[in-house]
Amino acid sequence: MRVAAARFVFVTVLLDWLIVGIMSPVFPKLLLELDGGKMSGTAAISGGFATAFALVAFFMSPVLGVLSDRYGRRPVILLSNVGSAIDCLILALAPNVWWLFLGRVLSGATAASATACAAYIADVTEPEKRAGAFGMISAGFGIGFAVGPAVGGVLAGYGTRVPFYLAALLMLVSAAYGLFVLPESLGPEKRRTAIDWKRANPLGALVLLRRHRELSGLVTSLFCSNLAVQSFSVFVLYTIDRFAWNERANGFGLAFFGALSVVSAILVGRLTARFGGRAVAAAGFAFGAVGFIVYGLAPTGWLFACGLPLTGLWAIAGSPVQSAMTRRVGPTEQGELQGAIGSVRSIALIVGPSFFTLLFAAVTARAGNPFVGAPWFLGASLLVCAAAFALSAMRPEPSPEPEASALAA
C-alpha cells in the first residue's frame, strides 16, 4: 500500500468519526432547542432521525459497494466526503427540525466512505495482516471520537452551530486532498465487467451472505454488536437527564471513551498475533458488556464515567471478526462483502436507535423509575450474544487424529 494512500484512508476514517464526535455532544442540544426542550419528546424524535438515516444507508450502502467493485474505490470515497460536507452545512444552517431531518437523510445517502475504505484495505493487504489493517481503521475511529467530542464541546460555547461549520470545512479539505493523493486500489483487471443490480439492492447484497454460509455466525455477531452500539444514541440525553452533564462534560466524557478506543485499535494487531482473533474478540465483547452494566448501575456521574474505559476496550473485538469475514470470500467480492456488512449495520441502525430512545423515553417519563438503566442492560445482553456467535464461528479447526496423521505419512 502506498504511504500517501494509506494515510488518506486513515485520515478519511478519522475525519468521518471526528465529525461524528464533534456533533455527538452538540446535536442533541440543537435538537432540544429546535424542538422546544422537552426531553422525552426529543428522545423519540432523535430515534426517528437515526432510523431515517439508517433506512437510506441500508439502500445506498450495497449500491455504492457494488459500484466500487465496478468503477473502483476512489470515486466512491471522494463523493462520500463531499456529501458529508454538504450534510454538515445543512445542519449548521437548519432553521427547524425538518432541515435537520433533511441533513440526516443526505448523510445516510453518502455514508459509504467506511465501506469503501474497508474494501480498499482488503484490496491492498495480505489476508493474514488484515486484522491489523482494520485496526488502523478502528484507530481512526478512536482518534476521531477522542478529539471530536472535546472539540465540539468547546466550540459549542461559541454557538451551537459553530461545530457543524468546522465539520463541513474538514470534509471539503479531505476531499480536495484525496483528489490529488489517492490512487485507485482496484485495477481494471479485477473489476466487475458489468453491474449486477441484483447485487446492488439491500436484499441482493445479503445474497452474498447466503452464498457463503460460513459467514452466518460472524454476521450475527456483527449485527448484535452493532445493535449494542445503538445504545449510545441515549448517551448524551441520559447524562443530561441523570447527572446534569453539559456539552463540555459530555464532550470530554466521549473523548475519554474514544482515547481508549485508539489504544485498543493500536494494540489489536499485536494482540491478535499473540493470542489469536478468537480470544481477542471474546475479551473485547466481555469488556464492553461489563462497561454497559456499570453505566446502568451508576448512581453518580463519576461512577458512570468508570464504565468508559471498559467500553473503550470493546474496540478490540471488531477487527478480528471483520478480518475473519474477508478471508472467507474472494478478491472480486470484497466490495460486495463490505456492502453487505454495511447493510447489516444499517439494519441495526434502523432497529436500534428508535428502540433504545423510545425505551429511554418510557423509563424517564416517570420520575424516579428504578429501570432507568434499562438501555444499558439491553446493550450488555446483546454483547454477550455477539461473543457467543463469534466464538462459535471462529472455533479453530480440530487437529487431525494421530492415527489419521500416521496413515497420511
Question: Would you list the domain boundaries of the chain?
Answer: 3-179+197-395
Maximum Cα interatomic distance, the chain, rounded to a whole number of Å: 77
What is the pLDDT at residue 327?
79
Q: Is 179 helix (H, G, I), strand (E, B) or coil?
A: helix
What CATH number has the domain spanning 3-179+197-395?
A: 1.20.1250.20
> What is the signed CA dihedral for 392, 397, 402, 406, rounded to 10 degrees?
160
Angstrom distance (rounded) from CA 65 to CA 122 = 13
The answer to whether 347 and 205 have CB atoms below 8 angstroms apart is no
pLDDT at 400: 37
- Supply the pLDDT for residue 36: 63
CA distance 356 to 225: 14
Eight-state DSSP code of residue 231? G
Q: Which pLDDT score is estimated for 289?
A: 96
Q: How far apart are CA 273 and CA 291, in angstroms?
A: 25
Q: What is the reported pLDDT for 224? A: 93
Give the contacts of 56 (CB within 8 A, at least 6 positions apart): 105, 108, 109
Residue 1: the pLDDT is 46
Which positions of the chain have pLDDT values less than 70?
Answer: 1-7, 35-44, 47, 111-115, 124, 127-142, 145, 185-208, 265, 332, 335-336, 339, 365-370, 396-409
Place of cell 483487471: 189
pLDDT in the model for residue 389: 92
What integer pLDDT is reported at residue 285 of this predicted model? 95
